[in-house]
Amino acid sequence: MSDVRVRFAPSPTGTLHIGSARTALYNFLFARHHQGVMVLRVEDTDLKRSRREHEVSIIRDLHWLGLRADEGPDVDGGYGPYRQSERTALYEDGVQRLLETGWAYRCFCTQERLDALKREQLARGEMPKYDRLCLNQSLETVRARLRAGEEATVRFKVPAGDVSFDDLIHGPITFSADVIGDFILRRTDGGFAYNYAVVVDDAGMKITHVVRGEDHITNTARQLMLYRALDEPAPAYAHHSLILGPDGGKLSKRHGATSIGEFRDMGYLAGAVVNYLALLSWHPGGEREKFTLEELVAEFDMSRVSKSPAVFDLDKLNWLNGLYIREMGSAELSEQVRPYLHEEGIALAEGQRDIVSAAIQSNLVVLEDAPRYARVFVEELSLPASVHLEVLHEEGVAGVLALLREALAGGGDEYPPVEEAKAILKQVADACKDKGIKGKAIYKPLRVALTGLDQGPELFYLVSGLGRSRILERLDAALTYLDERGSA
């Protein structure tokens, strides 16, 4: 299957939805697994709603996910143009071929007549479809009506019989032509119908496999008829399930974020999003759930894509994203969280950044959580305002604080390395142990004196990341507070 060619064909009428992103991912994985080609084709024939900025956004989001197409508007591969709006001459050529070979005909029926026909058929309990009133007009009649200025669509003459295909996910599927009316290929305004344009594009781009959502299954019968009429080989089809919300309805804004850009802005990592999307319907076998993109390419098999609906589980995505965050190096994480900290006005010194990133890393589910956990390293502290001051009132606390002050007062880096901070705390703990003080009686008062809180990052991260001068100021303030309280 080294000649595999697939396509992802979004409409630039909005941003990249998470459901469309999964379609792009399955196309990418299938193509890469078989050393094939993925084409990006922009279906921008909806002139009222299509926007070039949406196209740019979609390509940017695909690149962020690591799903770079081999051919497309930004990478010419010899089968373009790759925007439907630039392929109208090809569509017109195909229409003329179908008219000449008798597979298509001109229809002069007005919308009013078509609406009335539909009402009558429904009233009789029939499936609405075109009654072929215009099918058998002579060529002379058609030409005369066109010269007279009458508007006409071009319809496809649906052949009798069943249309069957073997879906790579759903298995054998059959449609009866009896329920499919002669559908429109070209509208009166000169625009071309979706099902027709798609076939011309897929045939012209030598697409071998169409991987798309199951909402397109009903389109397949019409498209297969067109391949036959155009004397082009039809691709294989694989229709994956749609993504449902937790309530069983179609995934939408009411369920929260749905676009890739929203997830990126919230601080989800591309690797985690790709990993999660792959698992929504694809089952790798075994208990393993974490895969890199390269591993997904190696493992992906269309036969293991389920036809059952996929339910979007935000908790599962959050779990995966947390795993990916915890595997990052502190320097990389520091760069990733910097814009989120900046947006909240949290400025870290050069020596602080990696220390703070390491300190908050285990708490992060998404990157936008970073300011909440990092704030403790930059906020001002006023001890009398702390609700945990009772911890400082316990016996021996002043001695514990004094020991840490003594260990830090000798000088050194403003932000001591973590290992040095651990050594300092061990020195304090050993000295306290000699005085019969241990455990919470050491660490809890130190935490409250340094942050005003009774929980937060590991104490050695605080000693490392708060800064030597800030810690000394806070220890002095705590000792002064205790001295004044004792004097009172």
Question: What is the token pair recorded at 201?
Answer: 């594009």
At residue 256 the predicted structure's pLDDT band, cuts being 50, 70 and 90, is low
User: Is the pLDDT assigned to residue 357 strictly greater than 90?
Assistant: yes
Distance CA 71, CA 157 (A): 34
Range 248-263 average pLDDT: 82
Mean pLDDT is lowest, of 16-20, 166-170, 339-343, 479-483, for: 479-483
91-123 confidence digits (pLDDT tens):
999 999 999 999 999 999 999 999 999 999 999
Range 401-415 average pLDDT: 92
Range 152-175 average pLDDT: 96
- Mean pLDDT value across the chain: 93
Residue 154 contacts residue 95 (beta carbons within 8 Å): yes
222-253 confidence digits (pLDDT tens):
999 999 999 999 999 999 999 998 888 888 77
More reliable by pLDDT, 320 or 388: 320
Is-above-0.75 flag for pTM? yes
Contacts of 212 (CB under 8 A, 6+ apart): 23, 237, 238, 239, 240
Residue 390: the pLDDT is 84
Residue 246: the pLDDT is 86
Domains of the chain: 87-240 (3.40.50.620), 253-327 (1.10.1160.10), 328-377 (1.10.8), 380-488 (1.10.10.350)
For the CA atoms of 248, 250, 251, 254, the dihedral, rounded to the nearest 10 degrees, stands at -90
Q: How far apart are the first and last CA of the chain?
A: 86
Nearest to 471 by CA among 455, 460, 485, 482: 460
Residue 418 contacts residue 460 (beta carbons within 8 Å): yes
User: Is the pLDDT assigned to residue 198 strictly greater than 90?
Assistant: yes
- The percent of residues above 70 in pLDDT, for the chain, comes to 98
Residue 488: the pLDDT is 44
Distance CA 92, CA 53 (A): 28
Return the bridge partners of 83, or none: 42
HEC string of the chain equals CCCCEEEECCCCCCCCEHHHHHHHHHHHHHHHHCCCEEEECECCCCCCCCCHHHHHHHHHHHHHHCCCCCEECCECCCCCCCEHHHCHHHHHHHHHHHHHCCCEEEECCCHHHHHHHHHHHHHCCCCCCCCCCCCCCCHHHHHHHHHCCCCCEEEECCCCCEEEEEECCCEEEEEEHHHCCCCEEECCCCCECHHHHHHHHHHHCCCCEEEEEHHHHHHHHHHHHHHHHHCCCCCEEEEECCEECCCCCECCHHHCCCEHHHHHHHCCCHHHHHHHHHHCCECCCCCCCCCCHHHHHHHCCHHHECCCCEECCHHHHHHHHHHHHHCCCHHHHHHHHHHHHHHCCCCCCCCCHHHHHHHHHHHCCCHHHHHHHHHHHCCCCCHHHCCCHHHHHCCCHHHHHHHHHHHHHCCCCCCCCHHHHHHHHHHHHHHHHHCCCCCHHHHHHHHHHHHCCCCCCCHHHHHHHCCHHHHHHHHHHHHHHHHHHHHC
User: Is the pLDDT assigned to residue 306 strictly greater than 90?
Assistant: yes
358-370 confidence digits (pLDDT tens):
999 999 999 999 9
Q: Supply the residues annotated as catalytic.
A: 253
Handedness of CA 126, 128, 131, 135 (dihedral sign): negative
Question: What is the token pair recorded at 62?
Answer: 């695909």
Cα–chain-centroid distance for residue 482? Answer: 54
Contacts of 198 (CB under 8 A, 6+ apart): 9, 43, 219, 223
132-149 confidence digits (pLDDT tens):
999 999 999 999 999 999
List Cα–Cα distances, 272 to 64, 66, 277, 290, in angstroms.
12, 12, 9, 8
Distance CA 24, CA 69 (A): 9
Nearest to 260 by CA among 250, 246, 272, 249: 272
